[in-house]
């Protein structure tokens, strides 16, 4: 059944939700996006997503067409209109559609705001039980990966390569170290029971789920080190897993066909997943 989308002030069937071919999101990837999970018909960790949205648009000098408060209202209205119990709300802001195509920022053009939802049973995703295979690819992206822009072609190619190999994610490698997954953060649990994930910087997106999981782990007296790690370290680790808004915490059981740890989902990934789901439900709005 057709769901309802939001486009610049109007709620319309998704199949009829359109933007101008002059929209700078379509012509230049001149836009920013966020994806928030929905559990029990509520938005998960949404303040974190909206804070990141504000930061991303600021980094490319793009003004939001609506306040963060109003954006959250629209997210909630979309969840309600679509009777969405469990799934995702996607939102994209672009620098709008000018009367023609010219690279510099247009003047007097209102930014575009688009939102739509999708149904997804994130809590009961089979991959949480089976784990996922990961492949590695060179990280060929631009130098501002901390900006959550829609210029995602490199990630599309990475995740297509993963899909073609029957894997659930591609870990991108730069200077011999894992940066992150195509649409997730990479974690390992060392043999010394230290959780390791790359420190934030321009090399990776500052993951909202990453941030929450690190905080939840530290609150439980788990040791966390924020530093880059190699594939060899990941293969020698007890466990590996990914985090993202659309998968929460998912165990990684192999990398490039080689088993991680036992080759089966590990207890720490399972435990952190449960902790995260509890946090998500308890704080959703």
Could you say which residues in the range 64-93 bind a copy of itself, by CB under 8 A? 90, 92
As given in the structure block, the two tokens for residue 167 are 């894997």
> Of 107, 148, 177, 238, which residue is the catalytic one?
148
Q: What are the φ and ψ backbone dihedral angles of 3, each rounded to 5 degrees? A: -95, 175
CB atoms within 10 A of CB 173: 15
- Give me the 155-174 binding string for a copy of itself, x by CB under 8 A, dash otherwise: xxx-xx-xxx----------
Could you say which residues in the range 196-235 bind a copy of itself, by CB under 8 A? none
- Assess 9 for contact with a copy of itself (CB under 8 A): no
Rounded CA gap, 72 and 226, in Å? 31
Catalytic-residue membership of 54: no
Rounded CA gap, 171 and 188, in Å? 12
Could you say which residues in the range 108-137 bind a copy of itself, by CB under 8 A? 114, 116, 118
How many chain residues are in contact with a copy of itself, going by CB under 8 A?
A: 54
List 10, 108, 126, 143, residue binding a copy of itself (CB under 8 A): 143
- Assess 17 for contact with a copy of itself (CB under 8 A): yes
Rounded CA gap, 279 and 150, in Å? 28
- Using a 10 angstrom Cβ sphere, with 0-12 exposed, 13-18 middle and 19 or more buried, the burial of residue 271 is middle
Q: How far is the CB of 91 from a copy of itself (least distance, A)?
A: 11
- Using a 10 angstrom Cβ sphere, with 0-12 exposed, 13-18 middle and 19 or more buried, the burial of residue 258 is exposed
Active site residues: 148
Task: Provide the binding-site residues for a copy of itself, judged by CB under 8 A.
Answer: 5, 7, 14-15, 17-30, 33, 60-61, 90, 92, 94, 100-101, 103-105, 114, 116, 118, 138, 140-144, 149-157, 159-160, 162-164, 182-183
């Amino acid at each position: 059944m057709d769901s309802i989308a939001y486009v610049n002030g109007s709620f319309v069937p998704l199949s009829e939700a359109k933007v101008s071919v002059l929209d700078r999101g379509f012509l230049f990837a001149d836009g920013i996006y966020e994806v928030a999970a929905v559990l029990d018909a509520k938005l998960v960790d949404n303040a974190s997503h909206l804070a990141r949205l504000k930061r991303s648009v600021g980094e490319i000098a793009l003004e939001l067409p609506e306040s963060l408060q109003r954006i959250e209202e629209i997210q909630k209205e979309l969840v309600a209109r679509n009777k969405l119990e469990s799934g995702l709300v996607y939102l994209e802001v672009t620098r709008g559609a000018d009367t023609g195509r010219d690279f510099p920022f247009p003047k007097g053009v209102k930014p575009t705001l688009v939102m739509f939802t999708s149904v997804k049973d994130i809590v009961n995703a089979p991959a949480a039980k089976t784990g996922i295979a990961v492949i590695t690819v060179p990280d060929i992206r631009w130098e501002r990966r901390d900006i959550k822009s829609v210029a995602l072609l490199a990630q599309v190619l990475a995740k297509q390569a993963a899909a073609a190999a029957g894997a659930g994610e591609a870990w991108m490698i730069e200077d011999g170290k894992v940066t992150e997954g195509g649409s997730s953060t990479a974690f390992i649990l060392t043999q010394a029971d230290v959780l390791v994930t790359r420190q934030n910087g321009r090399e990776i997106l500052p993951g909202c789920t990453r941030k929450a999981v690190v905080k939840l782990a530290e609150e439980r007296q788990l040791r966390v080190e924020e530093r880059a790690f190699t594939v060899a370290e990941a293969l020698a680790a007890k466990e590996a897993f990914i985090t993202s808004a659309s998968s929460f915490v998912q165990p990684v059981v192999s990398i490039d066909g080689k088993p991680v740890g036992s080759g089966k989902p590990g207890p720490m990934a399972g435990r952190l997943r449960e902790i995260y789901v509890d946090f998500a439900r308890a704080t959703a709005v």
